[in-house]
Structure 1
Amino acid sequence: MKKAVLLLAVLISFISSQDFKKVGTTGYVFLEIPVSARASALGDASVALFHTGADAIFINPALVGFTSKRHSLNFTFANWLADTKHQAGAYLFKLGNFGVFGVGFVRLDFGTMQGTTNANPDQPGNYVITEPFSADAMAFGISYSRMLTDRFSFGGFVKYVREKIWIYKSDNFVFDVGIIYFTGFRSLRIAGAIQNFGVDSKYIGDTFKMPSVFKLGIAGEILGEHNTPTRLSISVEALHPSDSPEKLNFGVEYTFKNFLSLRGGYKFNYDEENFTFGFGLAGFNIGVPVNFDFAFVNFSRLGSVLRIGIGAEF
């Protein structure tokens, strides 16, 4: 395990030393938008989190291998940048020792826009109004995760992705794969994941690559353990995206008696994103135990985003 982690670190260092610009080299970039409200509050330092719900399949599908409940649900909502709307949902079903099966969807709604067309191609600027049209991007997939030992879990997530504007669309299949391993030193854990890996896709006549990202992170508790009701957790995550420079996420979470969680984080080497914070409430029983998560993400010149999540396990 130590050799594998060292090899991955060397690989990231080598790739990051290459001097070239990768911005704007992939499509389906909506897949890079974080989904989980809890993770967003932690600066998205989430690949090695514990006590995760169904939304973990969007972070690292291996995380849900440690799920103890038979059923798990999660929905998140955010008014994203530029008046767009971002929604996601997931459902998990634990089938005994066979593992945990899941389904999930993500949708980015660009809204409705007014269509126009040139009245005279030889005179740009002269246009006539046509019918309104809409645009959106979505992903839907199935996941499988399994805890092989009390320290190790793996998982995978296969997704159908599609982007559409008016009558034009592009679609493809991508997949995620991840692992998480408890080192045996207190609750320290190491995790890694590859997301959005797939073959090139095409929109009308243009070919583009997938927005794949490799994530490697560690997490642990400096107060309590991962299974104690009151704990203070720290997580760090390094990312190597295929379409932007390397990034680093840092998060801190204090949980009091499995009821109230206070969270904060910081995101390094991003164009606009930096600090994050939020909180979570759990233990509400409305027939089934329900939890709520809230996250605030600062985008500097672009404003801010508030993400809300609701989940249930039973």
Structure 2
Amino acid sequence: MKLNKILILIVIIALAFSVTALMAGNKDKIGGAGAQQLLIPVGSRGIAMGGAYNAMVSGNEAIFWNPAGLSASEATAEATFSNLRWIADTQVNYFAISSKMGRLGSIGISAKIYDFGEFEQTTEFETEGTGIMVSPTNMVLGLTFSRQMTDRIFFGINAKIISESFMRMSASGFALDIGVQYISSAGIRMGLTLNNFGGMMQYTGEDLQRTVDLPFTEAGTQSIDLRLEAQQFELPSTFEIGIAYDYRINDQNTITLATNYKNQNYGLDEVMGGVEYGFNDMFFVRGGYGQSPEGGADDNIFGFTAGAGIKYSLGGSSKILVDYAYRDTKWFESNQWVTVSVMF
């Protein structure tokens, strides 16, 4: 028990010091980080609550929102698939499986794949298209460990490999998510996360190489091979703190209120709030909203969120969860999430 308390203290201190580094986020730095697919949310329940999910998430969706919640799941094992209809006819698919490993804790693996579809290649010389169809590939693979440290405190860490490729160029990187959750006896839950903490990424590949003829040289002069060096870019690190409160009206009806604050190193800070109504721990209706208090009308491109879900018993301890979420989006078509989880 003493060792557990020491580990918890170390994590909390590390997260607190991380806030100082992340507070550099401001409007002037927007767009300065790469690997933006890391910020695209997965799972329907959290987004239906406006993103105010840090403190209350559990199960496979916790791998993205707060890895500490993986061990807070009521299931011994879980498999999840989620599909997001993103902007400009793109999609994001998410797969995750997890299992409790006794006193060791919980282990999970996940994959988030960004599907851009195909489009025609253009070049500086053929701006109308070359006739060649191309499709970028963005993928995030994760390995998650989570453990219940005390009767009320959960800890989790998610290690991620980030892979991006486009034609004959690619970039890869590594990042960590670290999270803590606290559940009180009074129905109050708190969460802290440091997300996307990692090193620089850089594109390399054959498409950065060129063979050129120097100007003003004599005929027959040998061409020169040039290699362009792409600029390195940072990851979009964030720090989040959240709180949720469960109010049980009676044995069948429950309301959960939640709020989150997110600090971003390459973006504006965000404040999110959400509410969930549950009936008989089977039917759920959710709503939420998030915005940046510092941003103007053009900075807050996402509007209200809403969603619903059902949890159905398959017999014994097995259950299936089906959730849907909708988010209003300025300028683009609205986002929609569908998530299916099977718990054992």
Query: Which TM-score applies when normalising by structure 1?
Result: 0.88
What per-residue deviation string (whole Å, max 9, x for no partner) do you get for residues 161-197 of structure 1? 011111211101111000001244x111111001111
Number of corresponding residues: 302
Distance 1:262 1:213 in 2: 28
**One-letter identity of the residue aligned with 2:255:** L
1:285 equivalent in structure 2: 314
Q: Are 1:236 and 1:251, in contact at CA under 8 Å, matched by a contact in 2? A: yes
- Give the direction of change, closer, same or farther, for the CA distance of 1:230–1:19 in structure 2 (3 Å limit): closer
Q: Are 2:328 and 2:334, in contact at CA under 8 Å, matched by a contact in 1? A: yes
**One-letter identity of the residue aligned with 2:301:** E
1:136 Cα shift?
A: 2.1
2:286 equivalent in structure 1: 263
Task: Using the aligned pairs only, state the percent identity.
Answer: 27
- Give the direction of change, closer, same or farther, for the CA distance of 1:9–1:190 in structure 2 (3 Å limit): farther
Q: Structure 1 stretches (4+) deviating beyond 6 angstroms? A: none
Instruction: Tell me the SS of whatever aligns to 1:106.
Output: strand
Confirm whether residue 79 of structure 1 aligns to residue 85 of structure 2.
Answer: yes
- Give the direction of change, closer, same or farther, for the CA distance of 1:141–1:253 in structure 2 (3 Å limit): same
Confirm whether residue 298 of structure 1 aligns to residue 332 of structure 2.
Answer: no
What per-residue deviation string (whole Å, max 9, x for no partner) do you get for residues 257-278 of structure 1? 0110000001121521121000
Distance 1:11 1:214 in 2: 7
Query: Which TM-score applies when normalising by structure 2?
Result: 0.81
**Structure 2 alignment gaps of length 5 or more:** 1-7, 205-229, 293-298
Instruction: Tell me the SS of whatever aligns to 2:69.
Output: helix
Distance 2:129 2:140 in 1: 34
Instruction: Tell me the SS of whatever aligns to 1:200.
Output: coil
Greater radius of gyration (CA): 2
What per-residue deviation string (whole Å, max 9, x for no partner) do you get for residues 201-256 of structure 1? 1123210001111010100113359xx65310001000001111110010100000
Q: Are 2:291 and 2:300, in contact at CA under 8 Å, matched by a contact in 1? A: no
What per-residue deviation string (whole Å, max 9, x for no partner) do you get for residues 31-77 of structure 1? 10010111010001010015x33121111000112223221111100
Q: Are 1:55 and 1:89, in contact at CA under 8 Å, matched by a contact in 2? A: no
Distance 2:129 2:144 in 1: 47
- Give the direction of change, closer, same or farther, for the CA distance of 1:101–1:109 in structure 2 (3 Å limit): same
Q: How does 1:94-109 map to 2 (within 5 A)?
A: 94-109=100-115
- Give the direction of change, closer, same or farther, for the CA distance of 1:9–1:224 in structure 2 (3 Å limit): farther
Greater fraction of residues in strand? 1
Aligned to 2:241, which of 202, 216, 236?
216
**One-letter identity of the residue aligned with 2:60:** A
1:11 Cα shift?
A: 5.2
Aligned to 1:15, which of 10, 23, 27?
23
What per-residue deviation string (whole Å, max 9, x for no partner) do you get for residues 132-170 of structure 1? 111121100110000011200000000100111112111
Confirm whether residue 236 of structure 1 aligns to residue 259 of structure 2.
Answer: yes
User: What's the Cα RMSD here?
Assistant: 2.7
